[in-house]
Chains A and B, each alone.
Chain A
Amino acid sequence: MPTPKLKNVSRFLFVAIVTVPVVSGMVYAALYSLGIIGILNTEISSKAWQTVFFGKPFWSAIGFSLYISVVSMAISLAVALLISIKWQKNLRDGLLGTAIYFPLCFPGTVMAFFSFQMLSKSGFVSRLGFNMGWIEDLRVFPSWIHDAYGIGIIFTSVLLITPFFIILFSNLFKTENIASFQHLAKTFGASNRQILWKVTLPILLKRASVTIYLFTIFIMGSYEVPLLLGRQDPQMISVAIIQKIQRFNLNDIPQGYAMSILYVLLILSVVILLFFRNKNFFKTSAV
């Protein structure tokens, strides 16, 4: 048994490492956003907070981030479920079983760069289209990068997370013994359709639900991908915060910090909400 002292030191260290950066950062951001510190801040004021809270930019950035992450997640899940269920056997071994791991080696930065070179108006797809005679001029090629609907960002996010979910589902197939449930359902006379909708999907989605929530939050906070592929408006939240802090007008910096506090609080409340809804929620999160 570890000595009680070691136990307490460990727990203390843990709490310190995970909370101090966030809490101290929040303190700094709060003081700055209220004009208490900051070289150009002359007086204590809640102006930055009012601007952020009642203004459009912060909420539209949150909304846009949510939209991007939910859509990316939905597409990824659909594709991943389709592939992992249909090709379940092939995924376990062979070339496919190995190949599917490779996309996980691609960071957001590289994938975003790749998407840009593929999908922009002068990108690879457009060149193919031109040479095939599908488009007469690159200007008629649709806008997929820096576009209003975040198509480029969604495309890239889907590329990044789909392989992960394919692997996750195909592992769950094994560990949850889904094949035997399917078999059981079949002996009771369930149709293939019923098996899919009443057995396979519910088990997979339920077991993966924590991961799904977590990934949705990650995508919301992504920075490199929207930085390279997004446009000036609407912006995703990380990009919007950094821009407020580092763009032309120095008087906007307090607003940037106010935005970052709101964002942290938002994530915090989601985590706590998930936790209270089901206290064992995080217990099973690791796969």
Chain B
Amino acid sequence: MMARKILQSIFIASIGLPLAFLLLLSFGRRWPYPEIFPKELSLAAWGFLDNSNMISTFFLSLGISFSVALFVTLSAFFISKHIAYSKKRNTFMVLAYIPYLLSPVVMAVIFQYYFILVQLTGTTLGVIIAQFLIAFPFGVIIYLNFWNENLKSIEELSKTLGGNAFQTFVKVLYPLSKNAILLCFFQVFLISWFEYGLTNLIGSGKIKTLTVQVFNFVNEANIFYASFACCLLVIPPMLLMYLNKRFIFFAEKSE
């Protein structure tokens, strides 16, 4: 019993390790081998928060991810209903799984041309659309399990009792689907928040989201700034998750 407690404590500590380590590095300055911890601590990286660039990067990422999540959550909600109740549901499912399973960056190289054609590369809108295209099938997949026979009959009952479409949605569908909607929103938000390859390619490197910024710092071998950007990337979803852990759980397209 004791052993289990100890093991579990170690396990929990190891979950916190990456964040603790990145936080420590983000305050570091010189870290020559074989020092275990950085030799000097500095607020230089966090001083970036004063710098308007980093703030705008943060809000740009937030804006992009929020828009993508919103569009996907809404459109997938209504569209998935008609897919779920279709006789060809399974065939539709297979279609949805194809873009869902493909590597986003490979998708990006093959459709980059069309984005250039309609002058969308290097624009925030272009990045939002591209991310929407890879996240939409995922949104549909999340909702498909939610639309079932039971729900269908409740919805029909509401109509039979004289409720119009709007009332049915507000009074019946929404309360029942709140969790699925939140789940979809948060999951899509994360996909967008974490996306690098596709964002960098379609954004022509001009749309500097936080994840793109992490890569830039890693490229210039600036581990302290990279750690700092990593923290900025990880902490917001952690806070959200702390508020409600149901948000995060689903067969998500992680990495």
Give A contacts to B, CB under 8 Å: 1-2, 6-7, 10-11, 13-15, 17-19, 21-22, 24-26, 28-29, 83, 86-87, 90, 95-96, 98-111, 113-114, 117-118, 122, 124, 126-128, 130-131, 138, 157, 159-161, 163-164, 167-168, 171, 211, 214-215, 217-219, 221-225, 228, 237-238, 241-242, 245, 256-257, 260, 263-264, 267-268, 271-272, 275, 279-280, 282-283, 285-287
Contacts and interface: CB of A to CB of B under 8 A. Distances in A.
B83 interface: yes
Contacts of B101: 214, 217-218, 221, 267, 271
Interface of B: 4, 8, 11-12, 15-16, 18-19, 21-22, 25, 33-36, 75, 78-83, 86, 89-90, 92-99, 101-107, 109-111, 113-114, 133, 136-137, 140-142, 144-145, 156, 159, 190, 193-194, 196-197, 211, 214-215, 218, 223, 226-227, 230, 233-234, 237-238, 241-242, 245, 248-255
A102 B13 CA distance: 12
A275 B248 contact: no
- Decide if the interface of chain A is mainly helix, strand, loop or mixed: helix
B90 A105 contact: no
Contacts of A107: 190, 193-194, 211, 233-234, 254-255
A111 B136 CA distance: 25
A101 to B, nearest CB: 5
Contact of B34 (A2, A118, A127, A223): A127
B8 to A, nearest CB: 6
B209 to A, nearest CB: 11
B254 A21 contact: no
Given A117-B227, A217-B101, 12 more contacts: A19-B95, A21-B107, A24-B114, A108-B255, A113-B227, A256-B109, A257-B110, A272-B94, A282-B94, A283-B90, A286-B250, A287-B250
B105 A223 contact: yes
A155 to B, nearest CB: 12
Contacts of B15: 99-100, 102-103, 163
20 contacts: A2-B81, A11-B86, A18-B96, A18-B136, A19-B95, A28-B114, A95-B12, A103-B15, A107-B190, A107-B194, A122-B33, A223-B103, A223-B105, A241-B109, A245-B109, A263-B103, A267-B101, A285-B251, A286-B141, A286-B251
Contact of B196 (A83, A100, A223): A223
B237 A105 contact: yes
Nearest to A237: B103
A171 to B, nearest CB: 8
Nearest to A108: B255
A138 B107 contact: no
A245 B211 CA distance: 22
A159 B107 CA distance: 26
Choose among B98, B110, B111, B218 the residue with the greatest number of A CB atoms under 10 Å from its CB.
B110
